[in-house]
Amino acid sequence: MAERKTKSEATAPKRDAVQALTPEAMVAKFKETTEAVARRAFEIFESSGRRIGRNLADWLEAEEEVIHPVHVSIADSGAALTVTAEVPGFSLTDLRLRVEPQRVTISGERESRRHATTEQLVYSERCANRILRVVTLPTEVAPEAKGRRARCDKGILTLVLPKAKAPPATRRRAAKKA
């Protein structure tokens, strides 16, 4: 059975998604995200009448609004690790990934899609337009190895990361007794 490509996969530019985030860009993303959460937390503080003692509650509420939680699972097939992450509403082109031997960083930003309606809003749930998740891997992987793949289909990001080869065991020579 032939695999069908989703619209986001078919239109995605050919690029190596797995190494698209440099350390400098990652630090800048963390800083930008932290500043967005801080601005939103201050807005919540202001709108609640500047109530003292709610710093953590305001911060957590802001974090929930700004950063979408990314649920992750990791499977081990023996030769590779498969990292699966829920990224609803994000395409592969919206995501920036960084793979290190013991860590994967998933970040992304998408444009807000709002529809103008003439109806009165009765109920609405907001979904964050940013995601950021750093996952510690249970086994070392080879970030530059052939066979690594990234795919995003229906809001599920799948990364296949070949494991790093174990260094050859060194043999110790037994010391001869004189």
- Report the range of poorest mean pLDDT among 56-60, 132-136, 163-167: 163-167
In the predicted model, is pLDDT for residue 16 greater than 60? no
pLDDT 10s digits, 32-83:
888 988 998 898 888 888 888 888 889 888 887 777 778 999 999 999 999 9
Cβ atoms within 10 A of the Cβ of 161, count?
Answer: 25
Choice between 169 and 16, residue whose per-residue pLDDT is larger: 169
Picking from 101, 38, 95, the residue whose alpha carbon sits closest to that of residue 70 is 95
Which helix (DSSP H) or strand (DSSP E) does residue 58 occupy?
Answer: helix 55-66
Instruction: Work out the burial of residue 8: count CB atoms within 10 Å of its CB; fewer than 13 is exposed, 13-18 middle, 19 or more buried.
Output: middle
Mean pLDDT on 77-101: 90
**What's the Rg (C-alpha) of the chain?**
22
pTM of the model: 0.62
Query: For position 22, what pLDDT does the model report?
Result: 74
In the predicted model, is pLDDT for residue 151 greater than 70? yes
What is each CA distance from 7 to 93, 114, 138, in whole angstroms? 12, 20, 33
What is each CA distance from 41 to 26, 29, 86, 162, in whole angstroms? 22, 18, 25, 40
Packing angle, helices 55-66 and 23-47, rounded to 10:
120
- To the question of domain 16-111+126-162 being in CATH 2.30.30.30, the answer is no
> Percentage of residues in the chain with pLDDT exceeding 90?
23
Query: For position 17, what pLDDT does the model report?
Result: 52
Task: Give the separation between CA 140 and CA 65, rounded to whole angstroms.
Answer: 33
